[in-house]
Structure 1
Amino acid sequence: MFLQSVPRTARLLRLLLPALPAAAMHRSYTLDVAAPLLRTQAFIDGRWVSAESHFPVLDPATGSELARVSDCGPAEAKQAVDAAYRAFHTWKRVTAKERSHLLRKWFDLLTEHKEDLAKLITFEAGKPLRESLGEMVYSASFLEWFSEEARRVYGDIVPSPATDRKILLLKQPVGVASIITPWNFPSAMITRKVAAALAAGCTVVVKPAEDTPLSALALAELSQQAGIPPGVFNVVPCSRAQTPSVGEVLCSDPLVAKISFTGSTATGKVLLKMAASTVKKASMELGGHAPFIVFDSADMDVAVAAAMNSKFRNSGQTCVCSNRFLVQSGVHDLFVDRLSKAMGAELRLGHGSEAATTQGPLINSRAADKVALQISEAVSQGARVVRGGRRLDGSFVEPTLLTQVTPSMLCMKEETFGPLVPILRFDSEDEAVAIANACDVGLAGYFFSQDPSQIWRVAEALEVGMVGVNEGLLSTPEGAFGGVKQSGLGVEGSKYGIHEYLQHKYMCFGGLKA
């Protein structure tokens, strides 16, 4: 019922709300990148392959067409899986040192071309160019990190209970991995998975999001330049219409040993069901609903700055961005006032290519409709708009601050994925923790306190996989990125991320003479 109600509500809102003042919808913007990086065909077995049909990639800020990309179907997906399977039997025997060397060359090429790669992100995902450049640094960092971890996949020699036996535990790559990635970090979500897989000795088939395939195809071009062998890294872009059939191949083909997915919890459950038919290893980084708790003892400068970073990065379209803001009564009014002023002073809507822009569009009109619905539903139930609140032309939504929010409102029950800050007042620590934990997902959580005892209590009590204490930005290749509850399975990044692509083999070496 919720999904069905969005279009009607959005149409009503558009009749009432004004147009985007920055006029991004009415200007012409040109994507200017080096020709070799703007690829529009699938990349299979080291070759650029055209599909029978194509689908458009749109600039979410203007709705204009950027390119038409090969619309792969089950046949192309199967070709990619077969190519990856053939390549695996060679790639797994390549030394860890050589795999490390190739990943490092790929890292160097991403770093060399980061400006052009950032432009692709800005135009196909809407992200401000400064943030896109940050994503490219983050994206390249996983290639660097796992190029180093490739040489540190150690097995074990375990003391045996018998003198005529030796016990060895070997770690070996699982095989072909299907990599299904989202649009909000169209480069980094690929490298975070693929770098670990290739470092471990696996081969991959990547299905990028239909909104943002250009970044994935640019990565394929640079992988080829880096010398990654044919079939080791494959990319099969497809439209929304083809996604179910392509996903079925990638999740059920018996030649695929592992799937790694980042996206919604609902989609993750569907993919897990398909993967279960052949008992595949699975990593799932799914939905979040991060609490952001400000206690009375918090350093207000730190809390407000962290709220700005955590909430408004990529216009609130990150899986770890703060969603539910819980502020203790003693500092509630001060925090609201300071945050409102910071929003007014620091946030500027516009096309991501414009230097002054800090807030680009949401990925499409459906995403903007969802945020608009959450705002209107909260206001209808008594929430007060302190700043923003308007659904604008295209897929733009004003950064919005709400107070007098209650736990029963949609914005407190469902992930927003947009620039909305709903603030709920609380009185006690126990109350805040109970509200924070009252959901079926647990990816990230944030809280702000200067009380050491409280910091330990709350950090241990929050039911999330990652906790930011007096910090609003968590992501780094050195950290273990993953959630609990229905936020997923496994971790990415850190020294543990490579283990998601390895299996343990127990070797009992008997008949030895003492």
Structure 2
Amino acid sequence: MRMFGGARGLRMQRTCFSTTSAVRTTSVTLKALGLDSYNLGVYNGVWGGNGDVVESVNPATGEVIGAVQQSNGSDLDQTLQQATKAAKVWREVPAPKRGEIVRQMRNALFEKIEPLGKLVALEMGKILPEGIGEVQEYIDIADYAVGLSRMLNGKVIPSERSGHMMMEVWNPLGVVGVISAFNFPVAVYGWNSAVSMVCGNAVVWKGAPSTSLTSVAITKILAEVLERNSLPGAICSLATGGADIGEGIAKDKRVNLVSFTGSTNVGRKVALTVQERFGKCLLELGGNNAIIVHNDADIDLAVRSILFAAVGTAGQRCTTTRRLFLHEEIHDTFIERLQKAYGQIKIGNPLESGILCGPLHTKSAVDAFEQGIADVKKQGGKILYGGNALRNLPGNFVQPTITSISHDAPVVHREIFAPILHTIKYANIEEAIEWNNEVGQGLSSSLFTTSPEKMFNWIGPSGSDCGIVNVNIPTNGAEIGGAFGGEKETGGGRESGSTSWQQYMRRQTCTINYSGMLPLAQGIKFE
């Protein structure tokens, strides 16, 4: 065990691990998922790929895990051709039977949950329990989608004309393009694909190039289910690649809906490109999430919640807590307890038991972390804990960091995808809510209080302006039954539960005249 010093004498631990053991784990994991050191990254009923070969690197060690032959423009065109054909077959399968196929996919994923979770840890860098938990998210949303396949209900609408019936009907869109990010290389695709499939759509997936092995592994599992049921494999197509492939999906009229998860800057470009051709777009973009801890809060509960919300996935969740507003009466005591909690965090090999914080995904993320720390100091802030990149270690490790800074400092309004938590003192709840809402992003937010009055004000029209508004739980995540997404620069999209399924279908208002007469609406006579 090696120890690394933090600010004010606090210490964090990092567990050393054997390179030989890591190589062995990688080999066993790839073999269990039907992967090799070299893999094809295009699937549209057959496997192929003519683009660049991209290596996946373990962010904890810097070692190459494997390589994937990405798609090029020709591969994408062929994949969209096959997906369009497959969609015409899939849409004619009754929705409950589509649900049965998704149920089989769910079971196939469950059988591989351990190696899939390990692959996520190896390739993305999140700790193993989170990697397995991410695969479980896909399994859970598949369960949800199976039930949904029998509840894709329209509605009957009263007609003002005698002998007429009005109703609302939902039909498949056709092809859904899913562009997912590195930080959730399984779950985001699962949210989209499981629901989209029971709605009757074919799906074309482009994951992050740096997590292409995970994309290939998931697609292999789904393809086997489709082939076993004599269905076109292109229902679940894969086109790995970089920005050019994402741009191709956004521009192509054959893609009826583009679901994009990523940064606000890129999401803005995707939205404009899709809108230019009058396509549909579902955006899950940046988050700059805040927790407010009032003076009547359960402090033990709040400290535990904030620790995971700010440090989990090494701060690389869109729902990571990045701002912490503390009432002035509890501020000093709370900071002291939070620093002690941070001192117990083990950082290191995400596959090791007891590790709570793995590496950042890339070297550039470490650079962004260091730039964020420098900006805090330039803008009048202080580092209360951490603040260092651990560049003497293999991999992309940094210290989870606590700052003290003004609520309106520019660095506080910028999402830095790293474990930096900005703490701010406030005097009254109205002030804290105003500061919560002043940033451009609007994904997730939480208030810790025991006051029913403050709880209901928080979730009301004068409260948080975020898409996810919590009380006495952290900002991270949401149960699959609720819609996930946010407002403002977060993009306005919704995934997972509630009525999110409606985004993957086209709504039709139908009027049937069975009267033999031709009365016009609004009493208009035309004779």
Q: Normalised by the size of structure 2, how large is the TM-score? A: 0.89
Matched letter for residue 285 of structure 2: L
Residue equivalent to 1:29: 22
- 2:350 is paired with a residue whose SS is coil
Matched letter for residue 431 of structure 1: E
Alignment CA distance shift 1:53-1:389 (3 Å) = closer
Structure 1 stretch displaced more, 86-95 or 227-236: 227-236
Deviation at 1:381, TM superposition (A): 3.8
Deviation at 1:165, TM superposition (A): 1.8
Are positions 1:500 and 2:508 aligned together?
Answer: no
Alignment CA distance shift 1:154-1:300 (3 Å) = same
Residue equivalent to 1:38: 35
- For 1:372 and 1:324, locate their aligned partners in 2 and report how far apart those are by CA, in whole Å: 18
Q: Deviations over 1:160-196 (max 9, x none)?
A: 1111322122100111111000011100011001111
- For 1:374 and 1:27, locate their aligned partners in 2 and report how far apart those are by CA, in whole Å: 35
Residue equivalent to 2:233: 230
Deviation at 1:52, TM superposition (A): 4.7
Contact 2:482 2:497 in 1 (8 A): yes
Residue equivalent to 1:94: 93
Contact 1:55 1:69 in 2 (8 A): yes
Matched letter for residue 470 of structure 1: N
- For 1:47 and 1:314, locate their aligned partners in 2 and report how far apart those are by CA, in whole Å: 34
Contact 2:290 2:322 in 1 (8 A): yes
Residue equivalent to 1:367: 365
Alignment of 1:225-374 (within 5 A): 225-227=224-226, 229-238=232-241, 243-345=242-344, 347-374=345-372
Residue equivalent to 2:492: 489
Runs of 4+ more than 3 Å apart:
19-28, 34-37, 408-411
Residue equivalent to 2:522: none
Contact 1:374 1:410 in 2 (8 A): no
Alignment of 1:24-423 (within 5 A): 29-30=22-23, 31=26, 32-33=28-29, 34-38=31-35, 40-227=39-226, 229-238=232-241, 243-345=242-344, 347-393=345-391, 394-403=395-404, 405-423=405-423
Alignment CA distance shift 1:382-1:168 (3 Å) = closer
- For 2:205 and 2:361, locate their aligned partners in 1 and report how far apart those are by CA, in whole Å: 20
- For 2:281 and 2:490, locate their aligned partners in 1 and report how far apart those are by CA, in whole Å: 13
- 2:160 is paired with a residue whose SS is coil
- 2:233 is paired with a residue whose SS is coil
- For 1:204 and 1:381, locate their aligned partners in 2 and report how far apart those are by CA, in whole Å: 45
- 2:348 is paired with a residue whose SS is coil
- For 1:108 and 1:62, locate their aligned partners in 2 and report how far apart those are by CA, in whole Å: 32
Matched letter for residue 354 of structure 1: E
Contact 1:20 1:392 in 2 (8 A): no
Deviation at 1:407, TM superposition (A): 2.5
Number of equivalences: 491
Residue equivalent to 2:481: 478
- 1:152 is paired with a residue whose SS is coil
Matched letter for residue 506 of structure 1: T
Deviation at 1:313, TM superposition (A): 1.3
- For 1:164 and 1:270, locate their aligned partners in 2 and report how far apart those are by CA, in whole Å: 49
- 2:272 is paired with a residue whose SS is helix
Q: Percent identity?
A: 27
Alignment CA distance shift 1:298-1:129 (3 Å) = same
Structure 1 stretch displaced more, 139-148 or 373-382: 373-382
Deviation at 1:382, TM superposition (A): 3.8
Alignment CA distance shift 1:381-1:509 (3 Å) = closer
- 1:211 is paired with a residue whose SS is helix
Q: Deviations over 1:148-169 (max 9, x none)?
A: 1111101222221111322122
- For 2:409 and 2:213, locate their aligned partners in 1 and report how far apart those are by CA, in whole Å: 37
5+ residue gaps, structure 2, are: 1-11, 518-527
Q: Deviations over 1:460-492 (max 9, x none)?
A: 211100012100144221111011112113311
Matched letter for residue 388 of structure 1: G
Residue equivalent to 1:465: 467
5+ residue gaps, structure 1, are: 1-18
- For 1:62 and 1:20, locate their aligned partners in 2 and report how far apart those are by CA, in whole Å: 17
Deviation at 1:410, TM superposition (A): 4.2
- For 1:304 and 1:212, locate their aligned partners in 2 and report how far apart those are by CA, in whole Å: 32
Contact 2:44 2:238 in 1 (8 A): no
Residue equivalent to 2:447: 447
- For 1:159 and 1:380, locate their aligned partners in 2 and report how far apart those are by CA, in whole Å: 64
- 1:363 is paired with a residue whose SS is coil
- 2:240 is paired with a residue whose SS is coil
- For 2:85 and 2:33, locate their aligned partners in 1 and report how far apart those are by CA, in whole Å: 27
Deviation at 1:277, TM superposition (A): 2.6
- For 1:377 and 1:139, locate their aligned partners in 2 and report how far apart those are by CA, in whole Å: 38
Alignment CA distance shift 1:418-1:156 (3 Å) = same
Alignment CA distance shift 1:255-1:348 (3 Å) = same
Alignment CA distance shift 1:302-1:190 (3 Å) = same
Deviation at 1:213, TM superposition (A): 1.3
Contact 2:154 2:168 in 1 (8 A): yes
Deviation at 1:136, TM superposition (A): 1.4
Q: Deviations over 1:328-374 (max 9, x none)?
A: 100101111111111112x1111111113211100101111111211
